[in-house]
C-alpha cells in the first residue's frame, strides 16, 4: 500500500512539473531586478572573454560589481567600462586556484563592499594538450581553477546567503562538461567535475528547503573567445557548427539567470548548424527560432559574424 501511495505522489509531482514547465514555456517568467545587488564575477580581465561581458550586463541593470582576476591591468580595464555605465566596481587581484588567495580576497570584499548576493564562477583555463603530452602542473592548474575554485568561493559566500535567505550562485561550465572531446582531457574532466559539484549543491539546498538561494548552471557550446584556438576538436566541430559569439552567449545566459532558470544550455547545436550554413530561408529560421525559444540565443541576420 505504501508503495502505491508513493507511486501516486511521484506521478502527481511529475505531471505537476511538466505542467509548470509548459506554462513557463507559454508565458515566460519575468526577470528579477538586480539593482544594488553585490555581484562577484571571477575571470573578468580578458578583453575577449565572457566575464567582462557579464560584468557589463549586470552593470547595466544597476548591480554593484566585484571583479576578481589574476590580471590586474585587464581587470582594471573592465572596471573602467563598468563605471562608465554608472555602476560601482571593486577590483581585486586573485588567483582563484589558490584557496588562500580566495579566502583573503573574500574577506577583503566583505570588508570593503559587503556580503556578495550574486556569485558568478566564470574563471577558467585549459592546457589543450593530450594527457600524455601535458605536464602535471598544467593538469593541476586546470583542475584547481576550473573546479576547486568553485568550492572555495561557495564556502566563502554561501553561508551569508543562507543566513539572509537571499542569493544566487551561477556556475559557468560548458558543453564539454556534458560530453567529452579529445585533446582537452584536463578541461573536460574539470567541467564534468564542476557540473557534478553544482548539481550536488543545488540538491543540497533544495533538500534543506533553502529556497532563497538560487542556482544556475550555464553550459554553452564553444565560445569564440580564443581559448581553444588551435584545438583539433574545435576545428573539426567548426566544420559543422561555428562557435558562439561571446555577446550572444552572455545575452542568452543573462536572460536565464534573471529568470532563476536552473540550467542553460546554449545552443541547440543542430539548429545553429542549419542557420550558420544558411540551409534554411531566413524567414523560416526566425519562425523556428521563436518556436524553440531561441530568440535570445541567435544573432539577428545583420549581426551574423561567426
Give the whole-angstrom CA distance, residue 270 versus residue 47: 29
Annotate 48-95 with DSSP letters as a single string: SSHHHHHHHHHHHTTPEEEEEES-HHHHHHHHHHHHHTT--EEEEE--
- Is-contact 154 201, C-beta < 8 A? yes
Backbone torsions φ then ψ of 39, nearest 5 degrees: -110, 120
Give the whole-angstrom CA distance, residue 230 versus residue 235: 7
Q: How many Cα neighbours within 13 Å face the side chain of 10? A: 6
Give the whole-angstrom CA distance, residue 134 versus residue 183: 10
Residues 6 or more apart whose Cβ sits within 8 Å of residue 198: 150, 169, 171, 173, 215, 217
Among 90, 187, 271, 306, which one carries the catalytic annotation? 187
Give the whole-angstrom CA distance, residue 194 versus residue 171: 8
Q: Which stretches of the chain are DSSP H helices?
A: 2-26, 50-60, 72-84, 99-112, 136-143, 149-164, 185-207, 232-238, 246-258, 269-276, 282-291
Strand-pair partners of 171: 121, 217
Residues 6 or more apart whose Cβ sits within 8 Å of residue 147: 190, 191, 193, 194, 197
Is 187 catalytic? The answer is yes
- Three-state DSSP state, 41: strand
Residue 36: exposed, middle, or buried by beta-carbon count in 10 A (0-12, 13-18, 19+)? exposed
Q: Which residues are catalytic?
A: 187
Amino acid at each position: 500500500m505504501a508503495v502505491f501511495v508513493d507511486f501516486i505522489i511521484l506521478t502527481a509531482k511529475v505531471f505537476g512539473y511538466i505542467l509548470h514547465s509548459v506554462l513557463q514555456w507559454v508565458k515566460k517568467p519575468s526577470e528579477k531586478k538586480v539593482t544594488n545587488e553585490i555581484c562577484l564575477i571571477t575571470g573578468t580581465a580578458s578583453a575577449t572573454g565572457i566575464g567582462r561581458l557579464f560584468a557589463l550586463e549586470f552593470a547595466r541593470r544597476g548591480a554593484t560589481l566585484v571583479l576578481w582576476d589574476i590580471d590586474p591591468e585587464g581587470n582594471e580595464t573592465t572596471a573602467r567600462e563598468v563605471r562608465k555605465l554608472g555602476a560601482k566596481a571593486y577590483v581585486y587581484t586573485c588567483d582563484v586556484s589558490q584557496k588562500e588567495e580566495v579566502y583573503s580576497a573574500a574577506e577583503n570584499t566583505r570588508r570593503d563592499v559587503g556580503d556578495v548576493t550574486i556569485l558568478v564562477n566564470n574563471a577558467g583555463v585549459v592546457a589543450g594538450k593530450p594527457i600524455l603530452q601535458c605536464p602535471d602542473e598544467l593538469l593541476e592548474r586546470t583542475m584547481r581553477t576550473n573546479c576547486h575554485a568553485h568550492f572555495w568561493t561557495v564556502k566563502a559566500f554561501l553561508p551569508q546567503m543562507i543566513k539572509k535567505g537571499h542569493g544566487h550562485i551561477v556556475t559557468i561550465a560548458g558543453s564539454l562538461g556534458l560530453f567529452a572531446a579529445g585533446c582537452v582531457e584536463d578541461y573536460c574532466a574539470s567541467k564534468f567535475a564542476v557540473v557534478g559539484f553544482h548539481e550536488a549543491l543545488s540538491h543540497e539546498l533544495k533538500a534543506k528547503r533553502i529556497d532563497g538561494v538560487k542556482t544556475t548552471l550555464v553550459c554553452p557550446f564553444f565560445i569564440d573567445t580564443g581559448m581553444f584556438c588551435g584545438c583539433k576538436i574545435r576545428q573539426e566541430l567548426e566544420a559543422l557548427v561555428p562557435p558562439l559569439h561571446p555577446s550572444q552567449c552572455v545575452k542568452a545566459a543573462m536572460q536565464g539567470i534573471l529568470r532563476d532558470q536552473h540550467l542553460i544550455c546554449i545552443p541547440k547545436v543542430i539548429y545553429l548548424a542549419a542557420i550558420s550554413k544558411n540551409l534554411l530561408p531566413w524567414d523560416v529560421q526566425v519562425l523556428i527560432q521563436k518556436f524553440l525559444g531561441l530568440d535570445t540565443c541567435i544573432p539577428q541576420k545583420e549581426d551574423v559574424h561567426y
